Amino acid sequence: MKATDLHRTIEAVWRIESARLIAGIARLVRDIGVAEDLAQDALVAALEQWPESGVPDNPGAWLMAVAKRRAIDGLRRGQMLERKHEQLGAEWDAQQQAAAPDLDAALDDDIGDDLLRLMFTACHPVLPTEARVALTLRMVGGLGTEEIARAFLVPTATVAQRIVRAKRTLAEARVPFEVPRGGDRDERLSSVLEVIYLVFNEGYSATAGDEWMRPALCEDALRLGRILAGLAPQEPEVHGLVALMEIQASRSAARVGPAGEPVLLLDQNRGRWDQLLIRRGLAALERGEALGGARGPYVLQAAIAACHARARTADETDWARIASLYGTLATVMPSPVVELNQAVAVSMARGPAAGLELVDALVAARVLEGYHLLPSVRGDLLYKLGQFSEAREEFERAASLTRNARERELLEARARACGVSP
């Protein structure tokens, strides 16, 4: 095998196996920073040995064996014990009485639980949001620091610092490597879902840069969501998030024109929507709703997305139901952004004047200052009401606020079009 092919193979193996590897080792050393270091050591060993020995039949098991051996050796030397709490020292004293094969077997069990622990740890609320995102993509998603930096248009050094600080914060806070229970579980699960959806949204509608979408981030978020749904099958909000992302991702091909320009929802060619993703999304929504209980924000948002997915044409969209669902969402997850989306739905169901009344209330409340979609929506409603001069001002204001070049071009074009009657 050529060196370039071998390196691509190793990169692929790492992307697939790294989360499982780090999770399995973290259960032993109780520190995801140390676990990642050991996993990286195993990767270095692969880069050194596989060119001569060849890629093993089970490369994931090979990496796990190397990392595990180094973890056990380090623990036995006592070099890591100083970094653990007293409880870990007591646990290790007991483990020393067992044979090494027993330790090997223990690490091979419950890998699903380990991955879930890794997700909950990487998304711990003790970390700032940007650190949770970076650490999750690194630890669970298998992305390199440079990949994360490119995806979010920030310097590589910035991402590296976030990851280092996140590991240090988790260690200093003595965050346990565990799946939380009781009331703490809901808060922690909410944090995990928030991180995954933040990653998806950045790929679906990039906040800055020259591209309208970054599909790779959507794919990474979908992969994380699907993994989480397999690990926590009894959580309706997990299925709700997966459903929401599947349905939204189904529109990806139709959201971009031939030159990469944005295509808005009502203008999209629905024949280009991915029906497989829609079916998967609707099935995930059905699973979430079947679990019962009060519908949470992700199940509700997925139900809204499903209304669009089920409509064969834009005219068939059930806007009254969408407006009602947004009303329910606003009580479950109060947010001026939700209210803005509700205003759009109301305008489609009852006319632009009804929607404009709700939007003007948000303008008066000054709760979305600096949010470019507020003047964008207001401009659209004013345009439909024939108030072209005011609409142009709103589109120009929206264009000045967005940091995405493609979106700015769209808004500027809409401002220019305000000189022409619809």
User: Residue 204: is it exposed, middle or buried by C-beta count within 10 angstroms (0-12/13-18/19+)?
Assistant: buried
- Beta partners for residue 209, in sequence order: 404
CA torsion sign for 264, 265, 269, 271 is positive
Residues in the chain, total: 422
Token pair 């959201």: residue: 255
**DSSP-assigned letters across all residues of 130-164:** HHHHHHHHHHTS---HHHHHHHHT--HHHHHHHHH
DSSP 252: G
What three-state secondary structure class fits 420?
Answer: coil
What three-state secondary structure class fits 33?
Answer: helix
Buried b (16+ CB within 10 A) or exposed e, 53-68: eeeeeebeebbbebbb
As a whole number of angstroms, the distance between CA 344 and CA 323 comes to: 8
Q: What is the pLDDT along the chain (422 residues), one digit of tens a residue?
A: 666 778 888 888 888 888 889 998 998 888 898 899 999 999 999 989 988 888 888 998 999 999 988 888 877 766 545 555 455 544 545 544 443 444 444 444 445 688 899 999 999 999 999 999 999 999 988 888 998 988 888 899 999 999 999 999 999 999 988 888 877 888 889 999 999 999 999 889 888 888 888 888 999 999 999 999 998 999 999 999 999 999 999 999 999 999 889 999 999 999 999 999 999 999 999 999 999 877 899 999 999 999 999 999 999 999 999 999 999 999 999 999 999 999 999 999 999 999 999 999 999 999 999 999 999 999 999 999 999 999 999 999 999 999 999 999 999 999 999 975 44
Residue 229 is predicted with a pLDDT of: 94
Residue 16 is predicted with a pLDDT of: 83
As a whole number of angstroms, the distance between CA 263 and CA 253 comes to: 10
- Other residues' Cβ atoms within 10 Å of the Cβ of residue 28: 26
Q: What are phi and psi of 186, to 5 degrees?
A: -60, -45
Q: Which two tokens stand for residue 290?
A: 């079947």
Residue 102 is predicted with a pLDDT of: 42
As a whole number of angstroms, the distance between CA 197 and CA 47 comes to: 34
